[in-house]
Homo-oligomer: A and B are copies of this chain.
Amino acid sequence: MSNPVKVNPDLQKEREKCTFNVIELTNVIDGGPQKTEERKKREEMVFKEGIHIDEVPSDYLSHKEKYELAIKKACLLFKMMRRLQEEENAGMENYMALLGGTLGSAILGDGSPLTLHYVMFIPTLMGQGTVEQQAYWIGRAFNLNIIGTYAQTELGHGTFIRGLETTATYDASTKEFVLHSPTLTAYKWWPGGLAHTANYCVVMAQLYTQGKCHGIHPFIVQLRDEETHMPLPGIKVGEIGAKLGMNGTNNGFLGFDHVRIPREHMLMKNSKVLEDGTYVNVTSSKLTYGTMMFVRVMLVHDVCNYMAKAVTIATRYSAVRRQSQLRPDEPEPQILDYVTQQHKLLIGTASVHAFRLCAGWLWDMYNNVTAELESGDLERLPELHALSCCLKAIATSDAAACVERCRLACGGHGYMLASNLPLMYGLVTAACTYEGENTVMLLQTARYLVKAWHQSGAALPPTVAYLARARDTRLTHSQPWRNELDAIVDGFQRIAAGKIALCVAQIEKRQKSGMPYEDAWNMTSVQLTSASEAHCRAFILSSFQKETEKLVKTVSAPLRIVLLQLVELYAVYWALQCVGDLLRFSSISERDIEGLQNWYEDLLFKLRPNAVGLVDAFDIRDEILRSALGAYDGRAYERLMEEAMKSPLNAEPVNQSFQKYLKPFMQGKL
């Protein structure tokens, strides 16, 4: 970390008292020194082009100008990528790093209209097209001769895919499909880039042939003329309007009025419609779980980036900001010295490590299960599905809460867009809804857990094996509680098992009183989401502990101490959050709770000197943070003023509205 400009002296002091080697931790996070070096080189290469620099920050632009800037930047970014790939002979990896990671979002800001082309359109062609279709489409898409998107969600239908209304009816006489939107609620709604950017689209529609519906299938539809970009006849396309965030993504709507496409435009790798209209189904529907799970696994990884950025900003600012008094006759302390502030921030730092390691574990499991799938083994699919659902829900909601807590911890200045925290919240909270709404996700995991509860111990896969153990001992609380990490992890498994047991009993009781199973399930669903969350927390805690224990074997002693403190902090924090559940389902006592509380306060005290070092280790460049409050040099106040001066309102001492409205109004002449 070079340090050419003057660093705020408070921040400098924080760095001097850090007890571990920051670069060592950065290397651990990146996956080794070489990975760190590669990342830094890639960042250097990208930022020296200056595409990320806005003359006027996009916060000040109109909605339309924001889109136009997003298009310009996306084009320049991909042009640069083409050039770098030619120069460096790099592969797809760079594309992905730019699009998915912090680097891409740093340059594109509030979303890009081309993202779905890469992350959905091309992958769908690859995954669902026949070899011939791939040969025809993928080259054109990859060279960006055409720009595509992926349209599934409709105005009236989201998570429940079977409810989609758009139809694709096969007409054997012309060998065409007729795409149609029978109602307003059938309009496609939300796809990124759909509004004014894409000229092609994969459309998910109910397939009708020979008078029968065969469910949802993918079709390639041309939306706009390749030369003029005008919408084609029968295509009603536009944008859905302004949103809380992602105002660069150009989300669109799409309606069809009997639009005809050739039979070959149905993507036919998995199912076919023959020329005469005969429907042929090729593969198991279970295989389509794959993409959904992939996206959810990626999401868990993504939200770590948001948390790391937010906690970097808030921690550095808390070292710089001085406020109020702790002790009489002393100067105002750094707000980081308030224990309530440490309570808000250090759990964020610990969460980044917890979710990062869980995401890594899940990624390995995903790869294993996918490999097994290809050899026809579906056994671990339900376990992976259940785990990816609840982790998606908990990771996104914890991350959103973390970003918002960091924003509020920065006081009024966190409310400024210049802090970058509001924009980040807008992006991260969206993930609570897309790719499976969080409550729905938790209930999917609950279904799996209830099923697992009824299975014998031997049949239970590893991540739910604790259910069998708990089933036998849960009522006796046989083990005495100890204020130790293992006891907390065990306690959380008891909570999860205990809650599932209660749900199962509740559902059975309701059924016995004459309620249909579905109603009994619904009536118990608040408790079911809570059981599902407890399962997820038990998993996160346990894998954070196990993965860290492996990790610390490879690091220096000073770093080992800090990493283990973070695991403890995370576990004790959640034990205190869930103390009622522990009282219900473990043998913890009131005296133990007071001990936990002191343990927690002691951990905050021990981690306090390393607070800044820990976020420095995330090694997020200023160009990626984009925050006046969180820059490496800690010049928060100077940067706030510099950012304020960029407001177009400050370009003129007197705004035109004074002459037009205010003065006549003040003179009673309006």
Contacts and interface: CB of A to CB of B under 8 A. Distances in A.
B649 A67 contact: yes
Contact of A523 (B238, B518, B601, B647): B601
A518 B658 contact: no
Contacts of A340: 439, 443, 525-526, 529
Interface stretch (A87-95, A240-248, A261-269, A309-317): A240-248
A657 B74 CA distance: 12
Contacts of A648: 62-64
Given A418-B241, A649-B195, A654 B63 contact: no
A524 B601 CA distance: 8
A638 B580 CA distance: 46
A610 interface: no
B584 A590 contact: yes
A415 B433 contact: yes
B581 A339 contact: no
A332 B158 CA distance: 12
Interface in A20-76: 57, 59-65, 67-68, 71-72, 75-76
> Copies of this chain, how many?
2
A478 interface: no
Given A338-B525, A433-B412, A580-B579, A155 B662 contact: no
A163 B184 CA distance: 59
A244 B434 CA distance: 22
Interface stretch (A122-130, A206-214, A224-232, A366-374): A224-232
Interface in A319-337: 321-328, 332, 337
A656 B65 CA distance: 11
Given A59-B63, A60-B62, A654-B196, A525 B339 contact: yes
A656 B332 CA distance: 54
A259 B283 CA distance: 80
Interface residues of A, number: 134
A99 to B, nearest CB: 16
A121 interface: no
Nearest to A197: B662
A239 B417 contact: no
B601 A241 contact: no
A661 interface: yes
Nearest to A253: B644
Contacts of A147: 662, 666
Contacts of A280: none
Contacts of A580: 578-583
A157 B518 CA distance: 57
A131 interface: no
A550 B583 CA distance: 37
A177 interface: no
A626 to B, nearest CB: 13
Q: Which 10 A-B pairs have the closest CB atoms?
A: A580-B580, A244-B422, A160-B324, A59-B242, A62-B62, A71-B657, A75-B665, A579-B580, A60-B63, A242-B417
7 contacts: A59-B242, A61-B62, A195-B649, A240-B640, A241-B647, A253-B641, A580-B581
